[in-house]
Amino acid sequence: MVGGATKVVGVIGDPIEHSLSPRMHNAAFENLGLDYIYLALRVLEKDLKNAVKGAKAFNLKGFNVTIPHKVSIIKFLDEIDLTARKIGAVNTVVNEDGKLLGYNTDGLGALEALREEGVDPEGKKIVVIGAGGASRAITFQLASICSKLLILNRTRIRAVKLAGELTNIGFEVEGRGLTLKSLESGLNDSNILINTSSVGMYPNVTESPVPKEFLRKDLVVFDIVYSPLETSLLRYARSVGAKSINGVGMLVNQGAVGFKMWTGYEAPRDIMRRAVIEGLLGRD
Ligand code: ATR
């Protein structure tokens, strides 16, 4: 029960009412018997600065940050972790004795999502579709462990720019435009495909960023989209016998990393996963 000593965390964004994070974290707090509550807080762009001040004044233990504030919040925080700085976006804030520290847990969430499915990206050749915020978090995480990384994006220059940033810090990364030709040649020489673009996301559920004929049994296909749970891309992957991984694991694991930072406790990931899936199924 919420009481006088209940610690408050939450997520700020706009829109926020469809966020699955309150459901996921509150289920975890309840499961561990922790006196915490997680709220969805709608914050308009013009109010972000005041919202950050308010978070301090209310002594929130921390909060998640989502669209449209992941980049713009950086200038209002006290310190930004090196990885989040490189990515250029913050999704998790921790209040440490009144100082707000910004982190990005998306990349680690994606890596853990792969590993819990028995996929180790170490030494593998990876194709990543998309060059937006999610792609930046994932590619900065994976570039240091995979043997080869190819980033394909609709807007070619974004892929080239991101690949250049990664190359500059010593990784072997190539960026190209997303075309049938680049996809075909890229996938021919890869072990893992990761879709970080919004292609196939609800309501455009019939779309796929990759044609079925480019997929094969020995390719791992990871789509970070979780609504629908099985995108067209993942359905194609399943139909050719490829391993398919949906976006729930990344959502749960990025949340679990933040949960540990706020509470000091290991997050009950299975409870969180169940809460997310129930929320998604209830929505359809
Ligand atoms: P996020 O933070 O979720 O990554 P984002 O920064 O808006 O969101 O990035 C969205 C990604 O999906 C981008 O790589 C975008 O490609 P562009 O850079 O060309 O915009 C990609 N994307 C969105 N709609 C797409 C479509 N219809 N076809 C191909 N790529 C698409």
Domains and CATH numbers, the chain: 7-104+249-280 (3.40.50.10860), 107-246 (3.40.50.720)
State the closest ligand 1 atom to the C-alpha of 197, by its place in the atom list counted from 1. 12
The DSSP result for the chain, as a single string, is: ---TT-EEEEEEESS-TT-SHHHHHHHHHHHHT--EEEEEEE--GGGHHHHHHHHHHTT-SEEEE-TTSTTGGGGGSSEE-HHHHHHT---EEEEETTEEEEE--HHHHHHHHHHHTT---TT-EEEEE--SHHHHHHHHHHTTTSSEEEEEESSHHHHHHHHHHHHHTT--EEEEE--HHHHHHHHHT-SEEEE-S-TT-TT-TT--SS-GGG--TT-EEEE---SSSS-HHHHHHHHTT-EEE-THHHHHHHHHHHHHHHHSSPP-HHHHHHHHHHHHHHH-
Per-residue pLDDT of the chain (284 residues; tens, 9 = 90+): 899 999 999 999 999 999 999 999 999 999 999 999 999 999 999 999 999 999 999 999 999 999 999 999 999 999 999 999 999 999 999 999 999 999 999 999 999 999 999 999 999 999 999 999 999 999 999 999 999 999 999 999 999 999 999 999 999 999 999 999 999 999 999 999 999 999 999 999 999 999 999 999 999 999 999 999 999 999 999 999 999 999 999 999 999 999 999 999 999 999 999 999 999 998 75
**Does residue 154 line the site of ligand 1, with CB under 6 A?**
yes
Would residue 124 show up in a list of annotated catalytic residues for this protein?
no
- The model carries a pTM of 0.96
**Does residue 83 line the site of ligand 1, with CB under 6 A?**
no
Given ligand 1 and candidates 70, 154, 179, which is best to mutate, with the most ligand atoms within 8 Å of its CB?
Answer: 154
Q: Active site residue: 49, 61, 70, 99, which one?
A: 70
**Does residue 55 line the site of ligand 1, with CB under 6 A?**
no
